[in-house]
Amino acid sequence: MGIKALLAVTAENQALVTVNFWTLILQICNLFIQVFLIKKFLFKPINNILEKRQNLADKAIKEAREAKEEADSLKDQYESSLTKAHSEAAQIVSDAQKEAQTKADALVQDAQKEAADIKARAAADIEQEKKKAINEAKDEIGGLAMDIAGKVVEKEINENDHKKLIEDFISKVGA
């Protein structure tokens, strides 16, 4: 093939590749019209649907956050109520223990007082019985002393002398 043939093939190919100005303008206008139509009838509804879905998702997230905040608030209230209940229970137990201790102390004091009273009465009874026994012993000793003195002296003693002898004898016996 010669150069002429090569140039002829190149010219044919170039005729196929040539750009027609009006075709180019129409194609560009066609492209803009398609973009406009796609934007108007495809992108706007899709964007609206996406926006609605985004709003629904935001609303669900917001509701979830509010529910979480409410749950946290309820949890805090529950914990504070539980803490308060524990402190009240501890106070009740403490008060009950104090009251029981007070009652126990009062019972012990009453028992000690009663025991002291019983001891005092027993001591008074003992002292009274002791005095009674001493007086009985004095009377008996006095009677025996009179009998002995009467036999020893074999004389009559008047009552004043008799009392004096008894008192002397008792004082010596008591000492």
pLDDT computed for residue 17 by the predictor: 59
Percent of the chain whose predicted confidence (pLDDT) is above 90:
46
Q: Which domain holds residue 25?
A: 3-174
Question: CA torsion, points 38, 41, 47, 49, in degrees to nearest 10?
Answer: -140
Q: Which residue has the higher pLDDT, 67 or 155?
A: 67
How far apart are the C-alpha atoms of 156 and 162, rounded to whole Å? 9
Q: What is the mean pLDDT of residues 115-144?
A: 84
Domain count, the chain: 1
pLDDT of residue 15: 58
> What's the rounded mean pLDDT across residues 13-33?
82
State the pLDDT confidence band at 42, using cuts at 50, 70 and 90. Answer: confident
CA–CA separation, 166 and 144 (whole Å): 10
DSSP 2-33: -HHHHHHHHHHHHHHH---HHHHHHHHHHHHH
- Among 149, 143, 142, 146, which residue's Cα sits nearest to residue 172? 142
Query: For 43-70, what is the mean pLDDT?
Result: 92
pLDDT value at 99 more than 80:
yes
